[in-house]
């Protein structure tokens, strides 16, 4: 792809969470002009959409867009249907199987939207926060999925057919949560602006018990850094 310059545009998928905020900071540090994209997909709350907007502005994105796709119409997930969000699972439990917080085809849909947006910007670079370590068992966060999507982009778009070498950058793929946090801190990310919880309290406080909260808490602890998150419940003993 050659050397990155400040004239290169990238579309960054931004959920408002810790990982995607770190990805945006990484892309900016690589010299990309960043266009952030959040998806209102019918998730359990809108707090993360507000967080995405804040993070985009704070980290200097060129612009921020929100696309609406109603994934509640198909359901099948604790994030898009009347299914309880698992709480207080052990680290071993979190690392096994695919949890009910997996949203069918979510990353495929999100990346398709990002790809379409990138094509309108004449950009061949997408950035997303997939992670093969702290990924909670989601199949669409693995390197195999990323490579397959790149191949799809190159054969399924006008730009790709014309020779554009689409690249899906996943700078967090091999980092554990502590490594992600250390990277973000080194790039100036203010994690107070981010939101990770699957099931926050009405006032926006993180629940403290869902998988996302537990991974976030453990990440800050392992990184040796204070966790700025406001939790509704105090931390429980690690299991």
User: 125-144 pLDDT, tens per residue?
Assistant: 999 999 887 655 788 889 99
* Residue-wise DSSP of 66-122: EEE--GGGT--STTTSS-PPP-S--HHHHTSS--TTPPTTHHHHHHHHHHHHHHHTT
pLDDT-based confidence at residue 5 (cuts at 50, 70, 90): very low
Residue 127 β-bridge partners? 12, 169
Query: Model-level pTM?
Result: 0.90
φ/ψ (deg, to 5) at 231: -100, 145
User: What average pLDDT does range 202-215 have in this prediction?
Assistant: 92
pLDDT in tens, 145-189: 999 999 999 999 999 999 999 999 999 999 999 999 999 999 999
Q: Which domains does the chain have, with CATH numbers?
A: 9-223 (3.40.50.620)
Instruction: Please answer whether residues 156 and 178 qualify as being in contact, where contact means their C-beta atoms are separated by less than 8 angstroms.
Output: no
Q: Quote the tokens at residue 4.
A: 């990155």
Q: Quote the tokens at residue 138.
A: 């989601």
238 pLDDT above the threshold of 50: no
CA-only gyration radius of the chain, Å: 17
Instruction: Please answer whether residues 6 and 34 qualify as being in contact, where contact means their C-beta atoms are separated by less than 8 angstroms.
Output: no
């Amino acid at each position: 792809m050659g050397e990155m310059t400040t004239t290169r545009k990238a579309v960054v998928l931004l959920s408002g969470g810790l990982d995607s905020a770190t990805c945006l900071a990484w892309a900016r540090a690589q010299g990309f002009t960043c266009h952030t994209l959040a998806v209102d997909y019918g998730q359990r709350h809108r707090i993360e959409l507000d967080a995405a907007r804040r993070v985009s502005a704070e980290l200097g994105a060129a612009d921020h867009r929100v696309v609406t796709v109603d994934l509640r119409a198909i359901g099948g997930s604790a994030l898009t249907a009347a299914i309880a969000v698992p709480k207080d699972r052990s680290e071993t439990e979190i690392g096994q199987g695919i949890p009910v917080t997996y949203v069918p085809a979510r990353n495929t849909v999100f990346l398709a939207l990002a790809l379409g947006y990138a094509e309108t910007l004449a950009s061949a670079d997408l950035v997303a926060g997939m992670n093969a370590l702290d990924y909670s068992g989601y199949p669409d966060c693995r390197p195999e999925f990323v490579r397959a999507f790149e191949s799809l982009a190159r054969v399924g778009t006008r730009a790709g057919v014309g020779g554009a070498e689409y690249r899906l950058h996943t700078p967090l793929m091999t980092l554990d949560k502590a490594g992600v946090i250390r990277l973000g801190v080194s790039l100036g990310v203010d994690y107070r602006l981010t939101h990770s919880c699957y099931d926050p309290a009405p006032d926006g406080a993180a629940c403290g018990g869902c998988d996302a909260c537990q991974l976030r808490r453990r990440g800050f602890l392992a990184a040796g850094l204070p966790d700025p998150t406001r939790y509704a419940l105090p931390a429980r003993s690690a299991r």
